[in-house]
Structure 1
Amino acid sequence: MDTFMAFGSVERSVAKNEIEALFHRYAVLATEEPDIEKMVIVFEEGGVFRLPNGVIVKPRNLLEVVRGNNPKFIRHHVTSIDIQFVSPTEAHTRSYFFATTDVSGFDHWGQWRDIVRKGSNGQWLIADRSVVVEGGDQKGWFRTTYPE
């Protein structure tokens, strides 16, 4: 068995920490005034961002997500992160998040389901992010921007 794939290997532990740091970096950048240039670099070139309604957005176009209804305040908080390594250079992950906005203290929550890959430069990047919203305040920013 490849040493990386052995549970508890140092290389695997380092990769896990790097992936978690990547997700926390994304959460810190995903605010009411996002710096798209900084957000784009957490994604692979050619990476995709899938909205809950199935629409695919290129990372460079992430501002389209707010549909012209940018909240005055939004913060994303990442809680549990499950990382399943497929190989030493690819992992499938599921992260729970919740978002607070100026409209609602507990605006919406759900999962980020990601495929992440380690590039030739050794950096882990998001190749594919699917946002799954499991619930939200009916009067919150998300539900008014994306009515069911």
Structure 2
Amino acid sequence: MEQWELIARESIRDLVARYNANGDSGRFDQVMDLFAPDAIMRTPTQPDKYGIDEIRTIFTGAQDTLSEIGGGTPKYIRHHTATHQIDLHSPTEAKGRCYYHVIMEHGLDHWGRYIDRYGVVDGRWLFTERSVTMDGYIPDGWGAHNASRGQDY
């Protein structure tokens, strides 16, 4: 393995961790900084979102839904990722996939997969494409609420 590969892998792992930590904390400007300007985000129930402004609506919409169903901001929401596989195609392009699960005050809420494309923009690894799946959810949880309303999480 070459040194650039080690740096790329660690940078991509950090990218995914920052996505979860910033999103869970409602720091959406910091989340948007993790996407390339022309990035695409795909979710199960909405049309594809192109570019930072459209992608941001996924997060603000989730925040609104959480407030609506929970009567305010939840005490916490934590996305956890596992089995992160990274396939490097070049020093500036990679693909990845990992499992996620979401923990809230009531426990496990929903789970699924992230399927990603990454690219280097201005010297930083960023998401160029992120596809989110939801493989399951608990009854009466946030994931179930969104699935029944055709919304994303």
TM-score, normalised to structure 2, is: 0.82
1:130 has 2:131 as partner: yes
Aligned length: 138
Partners of 1:48 and 1:118 in 2: how far apart?
15
Question: What residue in structure 2 maps to residue 4 of structure 1?
Answer: none
The change in CA–CA distance for 1:145 and 1:54 in structure 2 (over 3 A counts) is: closer
Q: Which runs of 5+ in 1 are unaligned?
A: 1-7
Q: Cα distance, 1:25 vs. partner?
A: 0.5
Question: What residue in structure 1 maps to residue 116 of structure 2?
Answer: 114
Partner amino acid for 1:12? E
Partners of 1:67 and 1:116 in 2: how far apart?
26
Secondary structure at the residue paired with 2:136? strand
Secondary structure at the residue paired with 2:14? helix
Instruction: Give the alignment's Cα RMSD to 1 decimal.
Output: 1.8
Secondary structure at the residue paired with 1:30? helix
| CA offset digits 1:61-98 (Å, max 9, x no partner) | 23344273125131101111001112221111101111
Partners of 1:54 and 1:130 in 2: how far apart?
11
Partner amino acid for 1:132? T
Q: Cα distance, 1:55 vs. partner?
A: 2.5
Partners of 1:27 and 1:74 in 2: how far apart?
10
Pairs within 5 Å for 1:64-143: 64-66=60-62, 68-70=64-66, 72=74, 73-102=76-105, 104-119=106-121, 121-143=122-144
1:146 has 2:147 as partner: yes
Equivalent pair of 2:23/2:59 in contact (CA under 8 Å): no
